[in-house]
Amino acid sequence: MQKIQNYIAGHWISGDGDGQPLVHAISGEVFGTVSSIGLDFQSMFDYGRQVGNKNLRKMTFQQRALMLKSLALYLFERKEKYYDVSYKTGATRMDSWVDIEGGIGNLFANASLRRKLPDQPFTVDGEYAPLSKGGSFIGQHILVPKLGVALHINAFNFPVWGMLEKIAVNLLAGMPAIVKPAAITSFLTEAVFRDIIESKILPEGALQLVTGSAHNLIDFVREQDVVTFTGSAETGRKLKANPNIIDHAVPFNMEADSLNCCILGEDVKQGSPEFDIFIKEVRREMITKAGQKCTAIRRIIVPEAMVDNVSEALKDALSKVVIGDTKEKEVKMGSLVGKGQVEEVLSKVSILLKDADLVCGMSPHINLFGEKVKGDAFMEPILLKARNTGSDSSIHEVEAFGPVSTIIGYNDLEEAVDLANKGKGSLVSSIVTYDDTIATEYALGAAPYHGRILILNRDCAKESTGHGSPMPLLIHGGPGRAGGGEEMGGLRGIKHYMQRCAVQGSPTTLTEITQVYQPGGKYKEPAKHPFRLHFEELTVGDTLITHKRTITEADIINFANVSWDHFYAHTDVTSLDGTIFTERVAHGYFVLSAAAGLFVDPGKGPVLLNYGLEECRFLKPVYAGMTIGVKLTVKEKINQEKKSEEDISKGIVKYYVEIYDEVNETVAVATILTMVKKLND
Q: Catalytic site residues?
A: 255, 294
The DSSP annotation for 253-280 comes to EEEE----EEEE-TT--TTSHHHHHHHH
**Cα angle 459-461-463, degrees, rounded to a multiple of 5:** 100
Contact 393, 352 (CB under 8 A): no
**Residue whose C-alpha is closest to residue 621's, from 580, 655, 565, 656:** 580
CB-based contacts of 489, cutoff 8 Å, min separation 6: 473, 474, 475, 476
Signed CA dihedral, 352, 358, 360, 364: sign only: positive
> Which residue(s) pair with 419 in the sheet?
none
The DSSP annotation for 52-90 comes to IHHHHHTS-HHHHHHHHHHHHHHHHHTHHHHHHHHGGGT
Q: Say how far apart CA 338 and CA 340 lie, in whole Å.
A: 5
HEC string of 283-319 equals HHHHHHHHHCCCCCCCEEEEEHHHHHHHHHHHHHHHH
**Residue whose C-alpha is closest to residue 63's, from 122, 138, 133, 119:** 119
Q: Distances in Å between the alpha carbon of 181 and those of 21, 111, 211?
A: 15, 23, 6
Q: Which residues in 429-480 belong to E strands, given as ranges?
A: 429-432, 453-456, 475-478
CB-based contacts of 216, cutoff 8 Å, min separation 6: 41
The DSSP annotation for 611-658 comes to EEEEEEEE-S--BTT-EEEEEEEEEEEEE---SSTTSPPEEEEEEEEE
